Copies of this chain bind each other. A is one copy, B any other.
Amino acid sequence: MAYSAPVRDQVFILGDVLNIDAHSNIQGFADASLETVEQVLDEAARFCEGVLAPLNTVGDKEGCHWAPDNTVTTPKGFKAAYAQMVETGWAALGADPAWGGQGLPRVVNLAVSEMLSGANMAFAMYPGLTHGAYAAIEAGGSPEQKALYLPKLATCQWGGTMNLTEPQCGTDLGLIRTKAVPAGDGTYKITGQKIWISAGEHDMAENIVHLVLARIEGAPAGVKGISLFIVPKFIPDADGNPGARNSLVCAGLEEKMGIHGNATCVMAYDEATGWLVGEENQGLKTMFVMMNEARLGVGLQGVAIAEAAYQAAVAFAKDRLQGRALTGATNPEGPADPIIVHPDVRRMLMDSKALLEGGRAFMLWTALQGDLQHGAPDEATRQKAADYMGLMTPVVKAYLTDKGFKVCSDAMQVHGGSGFTEHFPASQYLRDCRIALIYEGTNGVQALDLVGRKLAAKGGRGVMSFFADVDALVAELESDEAIKPFVEGLRTVKAKLQEATMWLMQNGMANPDNAGAASTDYLHLFGLTALAYMWAMMAKAAQAKVTAGDSDPFYATKLSTGLYFVARILPEADTHLAKLKTGAATLMALSADAF
């Protein structure tokens, strides 16, 4: 079963829903007409479907290999595909033209990123992490650092990594122990061990630029004493080419449930030479610029892998003959009907389709906020978009990966016994997808970030904007009989989210455990509301086409899928609201010993 990039759906969202042609006053959009974007997406699809997708199973089965000389070999075919990616410029789409990128809008870049991850998540993480390192240096680096590193990172000629985690320290970065000692020449000697470093070592790039969090000797304890360093594998020489080998090695690879094609490294730094990024003890600030973008990228992985899993499930459900439709045979000449006739198989496929299309719109809509935040000509738009980015990032990350995992699990279920075997792709998708709920901050950490930080930021300005935008859309569409269920669904779920928000404001202050206890259900209620908002916008766009007499069945299918979302997924809101309003009492009742 071949992966097919969801270009048609992306073009619908970019063109009919988000109307990117109307944003030509924003940086990067002038050169990104919908027509151009379609061509870019089509070409990207060819690369992803033709080059990356066929390597996905190879990557899973072969994995990465570490040798005692601390080298890491990637699976067969990865190196050539990487070289092709660098050469054709797919990795540089979103980077600044000043550094050799193509300066395409984030929203377009994210659509391409979805294809990369959908075709081969383990592979896509190499440019993904490199882009993270790029973003950190762009955000916090000196002009010299930018000039030296960004052109190489933009194209992925050099790889990049993010080194946060240590054995004793994951979410709680205040516990970092890696040391940085000033060498007297402006550089630092970095010593310590980092774990779970994705793409930490491999054979595909001529250099790897590690972004490392460490503590300068004498720095304050906790998160206030953490600085960010550039620690390249090969120290660039005067011409900016890879020079002397730095004293850092990959000491081993992690054995993992999935993403076997990506090298998850234990990195050992032994007085490695590093360069401070930004100011001393301000490392977390820069890292979080990057982390926020990375979190969107993880939400994207949830959708991307789930789309691939869903496609495999659809193909299987149309092909596999087993049993007869409850309402009479649909394939009377054959030995049995294809299992797609069975309502419970449909349920899983429709759940998936509705979540994926809604999730894709949500992810692209959020990416557009990133474009507006950085490139809108007026301050009010920039500010509102920045508020949205802050607010929606944890929702995109956690809701779309939780749902992505559900879709992958349902895709396996559609496969029946075949799904559990490694001859079909369902197992790999499920295994690969699972990490997305964990890394870049577990989904529980996202929920806490949402209720504990993002919701109240700037006096709750972000969530107020969201409620106002939803109300405005409801007011605009409520007289449209054709899409009434979408409007009613959105109005209803928004009221529940508002009720939950009020509950949080009243009870979270009194006892912060109430906020913590409510956080995941609140995030899911938020995700449902965001998807209902997307579905209302998509229904509006699709209905306009249908009304105008467009005969492309895509639009009628879109409306049907959305009606399913409203009828069969939105009811989850009630349960989340009821659960979160029970507060912390029953949840925190037991002492730790009682478990």
Counting CB contacts under 8 A, is A536 at the interface?
no
Q: Is the beta-carbon distance between A416 and B434 smaller than 8 angstroms?
A: no
Are A326 and B515 interface neighbours, CB within 8 A?
Answer: yes
Asked if A112 lies at the interface with its beta carbon under 8 angstroms from chain B, I say: no
Q: Which one, B427, B553, B590, contacts A257 given CB within 8 A? A: B427
Nearest B residue to A310, CB-CB = B595
Q: Least Cβ distance of A294 to chain B in Å?
A: 15
What is the bound-complex CA distance between A431 and B419, given in angstroms? 12
Question: Which residues in B have their C-beta under 8 angstroms from that of A169?
Answer: 322
Number of copies: 2
Are the C-beta atoms of B564 and A589 separated by less than 8 Å? yes
| A447 in contact (CB, < 8 A) | yes
Determine whether A568 belongs to the interface, using a CB cutoff of 8 Å to chain B. yes
**Known interface pairs A574-B574, A575-B571, A575-B572; A421-B256 also in contact (CB < 8 Å):** yes
Q: Which of A271-279, A296-304, A436-444 contacts B (4 or more CB under 8 A)?
A: A436-444
Contact partner of A409 among B405, B567, B589, CB < 8 A? B405
Taken residue by residue from 456 to 486, chain A's Cβ proximity to chain B (1 for < 8 Å, 0 otherwise) reads as: 0000000000000000000000000000000
Which stretch (A89-97, A178-186, A333-341) binds chain B?
A333-341
State the CA gap A547–B7 with chains docked (Å).
66
Contact count band on A: 35 or more
- Quick check: is A286 within 8 A (CB to CB) of the other chain? no
A288 within 8 A of B: no
Q: Which residue of B lies closest to A570 (CB)?
A: B578
A257 B422 Cβ-Cβ under 8 A: yes
Stretch at the interface among A144-152, A236-244, A580-588: A580-588
Asked whether A58 is an interface residue with its Cβ less than 8 Å from the other chain, the reply is: no
Can you list, as one digit per residue, whether each of A412-440 has a CB less than 8 Å from chain B (1) or not (0)? Answer: 11001101111100010011001101110
- A16 contacts the other chain (CB 8 A): no
User: Chain B CB within 10 Å — which of A314, A321, A589 has the most?
Assistant: A589
A254 and B438 CA atoms in complex are apart in Å by 30
Residues of B within 8 Å of A588, CB to CB, are 343, 346
Q: A422-B256, A444-B344, A564-B589 are in contact. Are A416 and B574 (CB under 8 A)?
A: no
Q: Which chain B residues border A24 with CB–CB below 8 Å?
A: none
Is A46 in the interface zone, CB < 8 Å from B? no
Q: Nearest B residue to A326 by beta-carbon distance?
A: B512
List B contacts of A200 (CB < 8 A).
none
Q: A335-B168, A336-B172, A589-B564 are in contact. Are A438 and B413 (CB under 8 A)?
A: yes
Q: Is A537 an interface position by the 8 A CB rule?
A: no
Do A512 and B327 have beta carbons less than 8 Å apart?
Answer: yes
- Whether A171 lies near B353 (C-beta < 8 A) is no
Select from chain B the residue with minimum beta-carbon distance to A328.
Answer: B512
Residues of B contacting A349 in the complex (Cβ-Cβ under 8 angstroms): 595
A165, B353: Cα distance in complex, Å: 30
Other A-B contacts than A256-B420, A257-B430, A563-B589, 9 sampled, CB-CB below 8 A, are: A171-B416, A318-B592, A326-B515, A340-B595, A349-B595, A350-B590, A420-B434, A560-B589, A568-B587
A165 touches which of B350, B417, B427, B594 (Cβ 8 Å): B417
- Asked if A346 and B587 sit within 8 Å, CB to CB, the answer is yes
Is A517 an interface position by the 8 A CB rule?
A: yes
Distance between A382 CB and nearest chain B CB, rounded to angstroms: 33
A219 to B437, CA, bound (A): 52
Which chain B residue shows the least CB distance to A553? B594
Is A372's beta carbon under 8 Å from chain B? no
Let me know if A170 is at the binding interface, CB within 8 A.
yes
Whether B574 and A520, one on each chain, are in contact in the complex, defined by CB atoms closer than 8 angstroms, is: no
The contact sample of 30 A-B pairs, CB cut-off 8 A, is A165-B417, A168-B321, A172-B323, A174-B336, A175-B336, A254-B421, A255-B422, A255-B423, A256-B427, A257-B420, A258-B420, A326-B516, A340-B592, A343-B584, A343-B587, A343-B588, A344-B516, A344-B520, A346-B587, A347-B520, A353-B595, A413-B442, A413-B444, A416-B442, A557-B590, A561-B590, A564-B589, A568-B582, A571-B574, A574-B575
A48 at interface (Cβ–Cβ under 8 A)?
A: no
Question: A346-B587, A421-B254, A586-B564 are contacts. A595–B314 as well, Cβ < 8 Å?
Answer: yes
Minimum CB–CB distance from A247 to chain B (whole Å) comes to 26
A416 touches B438 (CB 8 A): yes
Return the contact of A322 from the options B170, B447, B578 (Cβ within 8 A).
Answer: B170
Determine the distance from Cα of A447 to Cα of B595 in the docked complex, in whole angstroms.
Answer: 32
Instruction: Provide the bound-state CA to CA distance between A574 and B575, in Å.
Output: 7
How does the 8 Å CB contact mask read for A152-192 relative to B, with 1 for contact and 0 for none? 00000000000001001111101100000000000000000
- Nearest-CB residue, chain B, relative to A523: B344
> Within residues 465 to 522 of chain A, which ones have a CB less than 8 A from any CB in chain B?
511-513, 515-517, 519-520
Shortest Cβ-Cβ A-B pairs, 3 listed:
A343-B516, A571-B578, A326-B512
Q: Is A228 an interface residue (CB 8 A)?
A: no
Q: Are B579 and A568 touching (Cβ within 8 A)?
A: yes
Asked, given contacts A343-B588, A413-B438, whether A557 binds B594 with beta carbons under 8 Å apart, the answer is yes
The interface bits of chain A over 196-234 (1 if a CB of B lies within 8 angstroms of the residue's CB, else 0) are 100000000000000000000000000000000000000
Report A532-547 CB contacts with B as 1/0, cut-off 8 Å: 0000000000000000
